[in-house]
Structures are given as C-alpha cells and as structure tokens.
Chain A
Amino acid sequence: MNTRQQSKLTYSWYGRPASSDRKLRTFQYKGIVITSESSKTETCIQLGDFILVEGVNADQPYVAQLVDLYEDGAQHKRAVVQWFCRLEEIPQNKRKLLKREVSPQEVFLDQILGYDTDIAAETIIKSIGVLPLHLDEELPIITLNKEKPFYVKQSWDGKCFKVLSPDTFSKLKEASKKRGVISNSSKAFIPPDNLTPVKKEMESVVWSATKPKSVDMKIEPKHSASKSSLAKERHSQRVANSDIKTPTARKKLELNSPTRSKGRLLGCEVLGLLDDDCDAVTPLEPSATKRKVKFTSDILGSPPKIPCSNDKSKLASETAEHCQRFSDTIRLSPYTKIRDFSEKDKNLHVKDDTISLVGYQKPRTQSPMLTPRSRRTCAQKTSALIAEQISVLNQEDTLSSSDSSYSSSSEEEEDDDVPCTPEKKTKFSTPKSSRKSAVHTPAKTPKKTPLSRTPRTPRNATPEIPRRIQAAQEPASVLEEAHVSAIPESLPCREEEFQDIYNFVESKLIDGTGGCMYISGVPGTGKTATVHEVIRCLQQAAENDELPPFQCVEINGMKLTDPHQAYVQILEFLTGQKVTATHAAVLLAKLFSTPGPKRKTTVLVVDELDLLWTRKQNVMYNLFDWPTQKHSKLIILAIANTMDLPERIMMNRVASRLGLTRMSFQPYTYKQLQQIVSSRLKGVKAFEEDAVQLVSRKVAALSGDARRCLDICRRATEICEFARQKRTPEIVRMSHVTDAIDEMFSSPYVNAIRNASLHEQIFLKAILAEFRRAGVEEATVQQVYRHHVALCRMEGLQSPTVSEIMAICSRLGACRLLLVEASNKYLHVRVRLNLNQDDVMYALREE
C-alpha cells in the first residue's frame, strides 16, 4: 500500500493539550499532525479517526480507530487505539466459521483482549475510512476516492464472529461520518472549538471509562436515559467501552484454543439489558437524530440478526443462541449461587476456571454452537450446523471425537427436553446442573491434564490389527497402554525436570522477557514429552488467567529439509506468511528486534537442535540472539541429545548466547522404568511383578530408553496373547518377557549362517582357514578360493567354479556377513568378516 519513509515524516500535536494528568504527567491531545517534508503536505488526524498502523508485514498495516492521544512523561507521543483485524490476521481454522465471502477491504472489530492498545504515535501511517455495514448489506462501490475505505460488518473476539452491537455500530457510523467532514475541510485547519460536542463528550468518556464497574453501569443508565441525548450518547459510549475494557482483567486466550471466554457473553447480556433501556428512551426523544432512528429500526426490523438485543422480552425459545446461553448459565450455577455478592470481575475468573477444569470436552461442543449465531433461526438448522462443525472438529482431533459428539448430542437432547423459559436464572437447581458440576469436580485436581481419557476406549488413533481388537478384551487395552503413542496422564519420574522447566518458562513469561534453555539427554528419556507437558500446563495456566498469554512455536530439526527452513516455519507460524528462507530471516529479525504493538510472548521449542547446525552457524546464532533483544519476548527451549553440544559444535559466540541454563535428562534407572511401565498399565493386572522388573533392568542396563522398554512390553504381551490362543489365559510371565527380549537383542548373524547353503558355509570356513594361515583378518577371494577348493575335495564335493564363488561371495556380502570391496577387482577383491571369528566358528560347529 505504501512504503513510508520515516525520515520524511514529522509528527506534531494538533492544538494545545486538552487535558493533563498530573500524576502520570501525561498530556492528552485532540489530534496529531503528520507533516511530510517531501510532498509538503500536512494531514491532521483526530480522535475517533480510523488509521493505519505499521504492522509486522509492510504491505498489511493494521487498521485501528484512534481512541486517545497523549504525551507521556518522557515526551513520547503515544496513542490508544481500538484495533480492527483483517481476515488475514484471523487464524485459518477460524475463518471458516464466517461462512461467507469476505472482500479484502473488510475488517472486523477486534475484541481480542491480548493486544496492546497503547502504541507509539509514530507508527501511525495515515487516516483512512472505515464504514460500518449491516451483515446483509452489499459493499457499496465507491469510485470517487482513490483510497478504498474499509468496511466493518462483524466483530471478532478470538473465538467467534458477532454482528456489531447497535451501539458500536452507531458509534462507528458517526466516527466515519465525522471523518468525511474533516477530510473535506482538512486543508483549512479547524479551530479547536469547532469540534462537535459529541466528540468532546466522547473523549471525556473514554477516560472516565477506563475503570468501569459493571455495577454502576447498570445503575447509571436508569437515570441518565431519561435525561438527555447527550447522556445517552455517553452511555452508549460507555457500553462500548465496557465491552472492551471489562474483561481485560481476564486472561487473553491463545487464538486457536477452543475454550471460549465467558465475559463476552456476559457483556452481551448487559448490553441487552441496556438496549432495553435505550428502546424505552427513543420514543421520548424529540431530538432524535437520523442516526438514532436508523438504530431503532434496526432492532425492530430485524430482531434475529442482533444477537444480544432484548432477549429478556423476545426470547425466541428455539434459537440456538438461546440454547447456548442457557447451557452457559447452567454451568455457571454453582458459583453464582455461592458468590452472589462477589465482584463481577472475580466472578468471571471463577467461571473461566470452571470451564478449563471441565476440560476440552465442553468447549469443543460449545464452540460450534457459538459460531454462526446470527444466522440461525431454527433448531433443525442448528443441529445440522453442529453436526457439521463437529465433523470438522473430528478431523482436527480424533482423540476427543467420541467425547465431543457424545456430549453434544446429550446437550441437544437436553435442549429438546427442557422447555425453554425466559427466566434462565431459575434453572439453577435442575438435576442437570448437578450433573455438570459432577463432571468437572473429579477433574479439579491441579496439574492434571484435562484430557479425560478412559483407558478402555478403543481409539482409532493407535495403529492396530483388526484381529486384535476382537481377540481379547483385556490385552487390547494393555497393548494400547504400552504403545509409545498413548499419552500418559502424567510423566512419572520426571517431576523434578518438569518443575525446573516450568519454573523457568513461567518466570520468563511473567517478566515478559526472553531466555534460552538447553535440554539434553539420550534418546527415549522423555525430553520432548516433558517439554510438551510443560507447554500444556502453561497454556492451561494462561487460560486460567494465572499467566500472561503466549504462543508456542515448535520446530524439529529432523523435520526440516534445511536448517534455514527453520526461519520459514517460525515466520509462517507467527504471521502466516510464506516467504523464502532469507526473507523470512530478515522479517523475523525485524519482528523480534522492534517493539510491536500486538506482541505476545513466544515460546519456541527447538527439537533436535544439533541438526540446525550449519557451517557458519547463523541459524543457531540468530535463534539464540533474538531472546537477548529487548523487545523480543522470546523464550527458547532447545532440545538435543548431546550434553556438551554447546561446547562441541557451537562457536563461542553462539554458545555464550545460549546461556548457561542447562538441564540434562539422565537415562532412566530400572526403578524408574518399572514405575513408568506400571503407571502405564494402570493397575491392569497383566504383567507379573518380576517380569516388569526384568524388562526394566535389562533396558536400564543397556540404554535407559523408555521407548525400548515399552516396545519390549508390547512384544511380550503379543507373545503371551499368541500363546493364550492355544492354552488357558494367563498374565504375562517371565518366559514371555525373556522371549521378547531375546527376539529383540539376539544377533541375527548366527541364525543367518546356520541357514546358509553348504557352499556358503564352506566359503566361510575357507575364509577362517585363510585368516589363520595369513594371520591377517583380510584376504582376497583368490586366496580363499584355493582353500575352498581344498575343503571341497575333503568333503568329496564337486568344487565350484570361480564365477560361482564370486556369486557366493557377493551374496554373503549383501547380507553383510562379509565386508566386500567393490567388485571390479574380480579375484582380487578383499574380503573381511563382519562378525567375530568365534561367532562364525560357533555357528558352523553346531551343524
């Protein structure tokens, strides 16, 4: 759109400070003048204007509405904005919730709370036009202006799209209208007094509304509504603000986390209440402006389209919206009852807690209901939509599919059963509410994963032979349990490491700083699993508003074709752009080194770090350099196998940036392995105590690899099951385990030699003879051939030709019993044994 040259633009305040805050030593202004030296033009941007703000991506500046301008104590020009987001900024998987075509000029009122609304005034590029539209309105085609205005139809709060509430709509409408006036007269400077009273009002409201209490929000309209239009204006303004500000206390959510925030809904309810008042007032207003008339007509004309309006009076009982709210209140019930008098903010907290404790299951079913609210008219449609959404979700996550479909259907049933009464609050003590609370209580234990996982549920995720599912009831689950992929509920024996990593990341998150941590350990010691667990717990905590929100990026060195692809992956995850590696590196460096307005802390997990090694090590250098930047807010967890990787392969400057926060995962001891196995089996009596111990001792002595341990257990179970088909059922005994271990660890060579043909065996004997003769463990085929012929004579066999000998030799070479040179030397090919001479002797003597 425009590439701004910073040097040529100067920013100055427009007019004198309108008000000042002595305590904070800030001065507030009504406008800002951007002077471009090159073109000698001046543009004046005033409060309420829509502006473009520099973003991560140069071609895609952020759209925002200017809410406030002030100069802080350090003479920095700051601006407070209300963000709008483009479709590109909405995560891909959420876009389909919109269910309609979106023009590139359409933006959404951004109600995600995680974004910093306080930005540096210098990042403002210019003012633009944003027109609010109703959902069914077509985009007007404007060809008069060169610049295309943006359009707002819906708002976006990170989880769902909503139709603009009438207040916001009218507010936006006014702002855009005003902008038209200003832009008309932008050449002639408007004196400060020329400002419309409305604007003045708005400005003051903005600042009085910074700490709104929903309590007085409810009271205030009652007296103000009947007074004057000005007061109403003010009230609507406040409502809009409360929309934005009340929930700031609550946590900001990960964009793709399915949990929905309650606060939105509550805000809507409040809005609905207030709308009632508004409706009552409008007829009383003789001086109702054109805008207001339109506003009321909106409400009366198309009631189903406005989600939150007048639900007390109009309740269309079958609408999905209603059902949804209905179930909401039910879930909230135990708390509201107890803490009727508690502060609203606090209440919101509690609700969030409940949701997250209840786990994935509910949010999942909830989110589909939430989404296309505005369009739903009847229950049939709703259920169809739900089914559709669920199928989408199923594809996304097969694990929870059964759960979610189950509970959603049950909810639907409930909705059908219970006649929907408008007085939702009376429903508190229905049996359902007790059922719901019963669901979440067992999950309340802290640190437990929310994934409610029943051990016996056959999940299609684990690869299995169909026969096995039918074969036996019990071992099927044991096998699944032992499969490496089965996610354990907790990671036994890694509590200490877990706590360390957790504390590290948590402290960095709270401080809002960056940092690195290096985690090492031999394969199969649970490094990646522990880190994943930490991230999951942190995300949980962030959802519960105990921590600031963060986003987690994971890259795996093994999954990159080239170390430089790491940049591309990270950038794609953060911004969704797909660019070349070098460009991505530049963009990322810019992203992490400059303070961004909408910046969240990023946790970057780099698995298999050693594969990001390049000759110049620039990938690793950059990765570890970013966290040291002041504004990066980047936390890196690097995982690799070698403990001394930093010293071994990294240059000094890279190693120093990595820092000294190290953690090494020791191989599991046999006791730990035993514990892991038994925790996996979770009390199912399938293994003998001794058998488990044998496995864990064996593995611990070899590698301490938990994966190996579980594999042996699986194999042992299979052997046992196989044996059971013939005999009586029994549990896995020592003998099965020994079989499994033998199968896995035994050397294949001896077996291979025993099954070789006669001449192959003679050839091996000849090799041994030749070695003994020469004293060197290497011989040419020619030498061996002579021995071979002699041996054949002894055995009374027909001696093979050279071609046959060569064939035998190459066959043994292919099995790697022999190490053979490249075969172009024919008879002079050198041959060496790939295994111990004694092994060969042993294998041949058995015959």
Chain B
Amino acid sequence: VLDEFDLFVHHKNQTLLYNLFDISQSAQTPVTVIGLTCRQDILELLEKRVKSRFSHRQIYLMNSFDFKQYIKIFKEQLSLPSEFPDETFAQKWNNNVQHLSEDKTVQDVLQNLFHHTKDLRSLHLLLMLAVSAVTVHHPLLTAADLQEASKQHRTDSKANIVHGLSVLEICLIIAMKHLNEVYDGEPFNFQMVYNEFQKFIQRKAHSMYHFEKPVVMKAFEHLLQLELVQPLERPSVRAQREYLLMKLLLDSSQIMDALQVYPNCPTDVKQWAASSLSWL
C-alpha cells in the first residue's frame, strides 16, 4: 500500500513504481500494489511505460452522502458507547444527543458546515470544540455550545489579527484599503500609504494625535511581520524601504467586519473607513 501515491510519482524515473508494477505483472511474486492519493489526475502523471503496466483499476471514494446521513453520522460520533462505565450518564448523554440532532439551531449549524465541506474531519473538529466545553457543572452538551464552537470554527484568522492591532495600524490598513479602491488593486508603497494617512490626519487633526513618520514606519513594519501586508519583490539593499511595492492581504469586507467588532474604535476612523471617497 502506497499512501500519498502522488509523491511516489515524483521519484526519479518512477523506478519504484515501474518495478512494483512489473513484479505484479510478472507472476514471480504475488504482489498487489494499492496506491492512495487525493489527486484525480494521477494517471496523467505516470510515465507511459509505467502507465502501461498499471492495471487501470481505480476506485474513487466520494463523500456522496446527503444531509440526513450527515446528521446520522453526527449522532453516531457523539453518542457514548454501551460499554461506558457510568450507564445512567451514558443514557442521559445519548438522549441529549438525540434531542440535539432534532434541534433546529443545531441542524442549522450542521447544515452550514455541510454546505461548506462534506469532510468528516471538519465535523470532528467542530464536535471536539463543542465537547471541550463540557465540565462537571455543565455535564450535557447544549445547542449553544455547538453554535459557539461553530463560530470559533468559522472565524477568519486574519480578521482576528486585525482585532489585536493598534489604532494607528488600523488607520494604515484603512489607508491601504482606500488606495486599493482608488487604484483598483494595484500595489502601493509606504510613501503612498503615509500620504493617505497624512491627509486623513490633517482633516481630523483634533481627534487624532499626530504621529512622527518613523513611528508610522514602525507600525507599517509590524503589519509586514504579521503578513497582513506582503511585499511584491524581495527587499533589496538598494531600494529604499519607503518605496517597496506592497500588497494588502485583506479584503475590504474583512476590514469592515473587523472594524465593527473592534473595541473603542474612534468614530472618525470608522467614518473614514466607511467613506468611499477619502479626500472629501
């Protein structure tokens, strides 16, 4: 059995595969080769003489179940086995699971996940998150737990990072967003961002503290380290850091979402972000 079969294909000359297939066809030794891969196009990667020796027996495993079966799987996964020591608790737990599976909110959560992926692994992950909330004082799983877990499961990692940024950094990101809108996704450099930021400061000087350029630069580099911003080319010694071309790795909707939940955000900044024409 060769797991991750596609990686064997990349061996030099596919010698291993050739020999394995050859042996399996030559009656010297009873050998069956089973290759496992997630790639659909694996056959096209085989060399012609290796392909010729391959038996062309393929079995595709698809997640072809529908939502009802998905719920069933959910129940089975969550139920306690009969050999569980505390029988009364097991009964209680299992009844609860039965209830849960009929609950509307739970079904919504599962439906959502099911729409995203039929992957059972992600279901396991979700259930793990939910079950980890179970404590002595809170012995039974509730629909709320599952919802919470689903929320955790779904959260956007980059948006989360935005939550932890300082106001200055948020301002920079908003500036970048505006630049992106103005120039339709063209790359920008620090100087452009700084200019944009300066314009905003001049308009709303009363609410914002005036930052020095090096301080802004520092904040910008912090964003770079968080990989919210990515340079287009490798930084060279000659090019000044201010003029390196950058790209924002966030979508505008992400930024807006993040700003909604950002605590204590100055209203000016929020307005600035929402306004499509920044120079007005």
Spell out A's residues near B (CB within 8 Å). Answer: 399, 459-464, 483-487, 522-524, 558-559, 561, 608, 611, 641, 703, 705, 707-708, 711-712, 714-715, 743-744, 748-749, 751-752, 755-760, 782, 785, 789, 797-798, 800-804, 807-808, 811, 814-817, 825-828, 834
A755 in contact with B62 (CB, 8 Å): yes
Bound complex: CA of A581 vs CA of B147, how far in Å? 67
A804 in contact with B51 (CB, 8 Å): no
A759 in contact with B115 (CB, 8 Å): yes
Which residue in A484, A756, A807, A814 is a CB contact (below 8 Å) of B39? A814
Chain A: minimal CB distance from B119 (Å): 7
B62 in contact with A707 (CB, 8 Å): no
B30 in contact with A461 (CB, 8 Å): yes
Chain B residues, CB < 8 A from A808: 116-117
Bound complex: CA of A802 vs CA of B185, how far in Å? 17
A789 in contact with B253 (CB, 8 Å): yes
A757 in contact with B116 (CB, 8 Å): yes
Chain A residues, CB < 8 A from B156: 801-804
Chain A residues, CB < 8 A from B30: 460-464
Which residue in A484, A807, A825 is a CB contact (below 8 Å) of B25? A484
A558 in contact with B13 (CB, 8 Å): yes
CB contacts under 8 Å to A, within B46-66, are 48-49, 51-53, 55-58, 60, 62-64
A462 in contact with B27 (CB, 8 Å): yes
Bound complex: CA of A798 vs CA of B155, how far in Å? 13
Chain A: minimal CB distance from B180 (Å): 10
A523 in contact with B52 (CB, 8 Å): yes
Bound complex: CA of A798 vs CA of B116, how far in Å? 10
B32 at the interface (CB under 8 A from A): yes
Bound complex: CA of A399 vs CA of B63, how far in Å? 44
B48 in contact with A804 (CB, 8 Å): no
Bound complex: CA of A460 vs CA of B119, how far in Å? 41
B251 in contact with A814 (CB, 8 Å): no
9 contacts between A and B (CB under 8 A): A462-B30, A522-B48, A712-B56, A782-B185, A802-B158, A807-B117, A811-B119, A815-B40, A828-B249
Chain A residues, CB < 8 A from B62: 751-752, 755
Which residue in B40, B52, B114, B115 is a CB contact (below 8 Å) of A817? B40
B159 in contact with A748 (CB, 8 Å): no
Chain A: minimal CB distance from B214 (Å): 28
Chain A: minimal CB distance from B247 (Å): 6
Which 4 A-B pairs have CB atoms at the shortest separation, nearest pair first?
A485-B27, A523-B52, A755-B62, A758-B115
B117 in contact with A752 (CB, 8 Å): no
Spell out B's residues near A (CB within 8 Å). Answer: 13, 15, 18-19, 22, 24-32, 38-41, 48-49, 51-53, 55-58, 60, 62-64, 112, 114-119, 154-159, 185, 227, 230, 247, 249-251, 253-254
A463 in contact with B32 (CB, 8 Å): yes
A707 in contact with B41 (CB, 8 Å): no
Contact A816:B41 (CB < 8 A) given known A711-B56, A789-B253: yes
Chain B residues, CB < 8 A from A487: 27
Chain B residues, CB < 8 A from A461: 27-30
Chain A residues, CB < 8 A from B29: 461
A803 in contact with B155 (CB, 8 Å): yes
Contact A558:B249 (CB < 8 A) given known A711-B55, A804-B116: no
Bound complex: CA of A804 vs CA of B113, how far in Å? 10
Chain B residues, CB < 8 A from A464: 30
Bound complex: CA of A756 vs CA of B63, how far in Å? 7
Chain A residues, CB < 8 A from B230: 825-826, 828
Which residue in B19, B55, B116 is a CB contact (below 8 Å) of A800? B116
Chain A: minimal CB distance from B52 (Å): 3
Interface centre among B25, B29, B116, by most chain A C-beta atoms within 10 angstroms, is B116
A523 in contact with B51 (CB, 8 Å): yes
Given contacts A559-B18, A817-B40, A826-B158, 16 further A-B contacts (CB under 8 A): A463-B31, A463-B32, A485-B26, A524-B52, A558-B22, A744-B56, A755-B118, A757-B119, A759-B115, A759-B117, A801-B154, A802-B254, A803-B157, A803-B158, A807-B117, A825-B249
Chain A residues, CB < 8 A from B119: 757, 811
Bound complex: CA of A524 vs CA of B185, how far in Å? 53
Contact A751:B60 (CB < 8 A) given known A462-B30, A523-B52, A827-B250: yes
Chain B residues, CB < 8 A from A483: 25, 27
Chain B: minimal CB distance from A526 (Å): 11
B64 in contact with A755 (CB, 8 Å): yes
Bound complex: CA of A826 vs CA of B159, how far in Å? 13
Chain B: minimal CB distance from A643 (Å): 14
Chain A: minimal CB distance from B9 (Å): 12
Chain A: minimal CB distance from B84 (Å): 33
Which residue in A559, A711, A828 is a CB contact (below 8 Å) of B15? A559
A816 in contact with B27 (CB, 8 Å): no
Contact A828:B60 (CB < 8 A) given known A752-B40, A798-B112: no
Chain B: minimal CB distance from A94 (Å): 21
Bound complex: CA of A483 vs CA of B31, how far in Å? 13
Chain A residues, CB < 8 A from B185: 782
Which residue in B27, B49, B251, B253 is a CB contact (below 8 Å) of A486? B27
B52 in contact with A705 (CB, 8 Å): yes
Bound complex: CA of A461 vs CA of B29, how far in Å? 6
Bound complex: CA of A711 vs CA of B57, how far in Å? 8
Chain B: minimal CB distance from A699 (Å): 11
Bound complex: CA of A756 vs CA of B60, how far in Å? 13
Bound complex: CA of A486 vs CA of B27, how far in Å? 7
Contact A715:B249 (CB < 8 A) given known A463-B30, A463-B31: no
Contact A759:B116 (CB < 8 A) given known A751-B60, A801-B154, A803-B158: yes
Chain A residues, CB < 8 A from B58: 743-744, 748
Chain A: minimal CB distance from B225 (Å): 14
Contact A708:B52 (CB < 8 A) given known A748-B40, A804-B154: yes
B15 in contact with A561 (CB, 8 Å): yes
Bound complex: CA of A703 vs CA of B49, how far in Å? 12
Chain B: minimal CB distance from A411 (Å): 28
Which residue in A524, A558, A801 is a CB contact (below 8 Å) of B159? A801
Chain A residues, CB < 8 A from B60: 748, 751-752
Chain A residues, CB < 8 A from B116: 757-759, 800, 804, 807-808
A816 in contact with B40 (CB, 8 Å): yes
Query: Quick one: closest B residue to A761, CB to CB?
Result: B115
Bound complex: CA of A420 vs CA of B233, how far in Å? 96
A826 in contact with B53 (CB, 8 Å): no
Bound complex: CA of A561 vs CA of B38, how far in Å? 28
A811 in contact with B117 (CB, 8 Å): yes
Which residue in B32, B115, B155 is a CB contact (below 8 Å) of A797? B115
Bound complex: CA of A804 vs CA of B151, how far in Å? 12
Bound complex: CA of A827 vs CA of B253, how far in Å? 13
Bound complex: CA of A483 vs CA of B63, how far in Å? 32
Query: Quick one: closest B residue to A745, CB to CB?
Result: B56
Which residue in B28, B38, B154, B253 is a CB contact (below 8 Å) of A814? B38
Chain B residues, CB < 8 A from A828: 230, 247, 249
Chain B residues, CB < 8 A from A811: 117, 119
Contact A827:B19 (CB < 8 A) given known A462-B27, A611-B13: no
Chain A residues, CB < 8 A from B158: 802-803, 826
Bound complex: CA of A815 vs CA of B156, how far in Å? 24
Bound complex: CA of A487 vs CA of B28, how far in Å? 11
Chain B: minimal CB distance from A704 (Å): 11
Chain A: minimal CB distance from B32 (Å): 5
Query: Quick one: closest A residue to B52, CB to CB?
Result: A523
A558 in contact with B38 (CB, 8 Å): no
Bound complex: CA of A807 vs CA of B22, how far in Å? 39
B118 in contact with A715 (CB, 8 Å): no
Bound complex: CA of A558 vs CA of B50, how far in Å? 10
Which residue in A641, A748, A782, A801 is a CB contact (below 8 Å) of B155? A801
Chain B residues, CB < 8 A from A755: 62-64, 118
Chain A residues, CB < 8 A from B57: 711, 715, 744
Chain A residues, CB < 8 A from B154: 800-801, 803-804
A815 in contact with B27 (CB, 8 Å): no
Chain A residues, CB < 8 A from B117: 757, 759-760, 807-808, 811
Query: Quick one: closest B residue to A798, CB to CB?
Result: B112
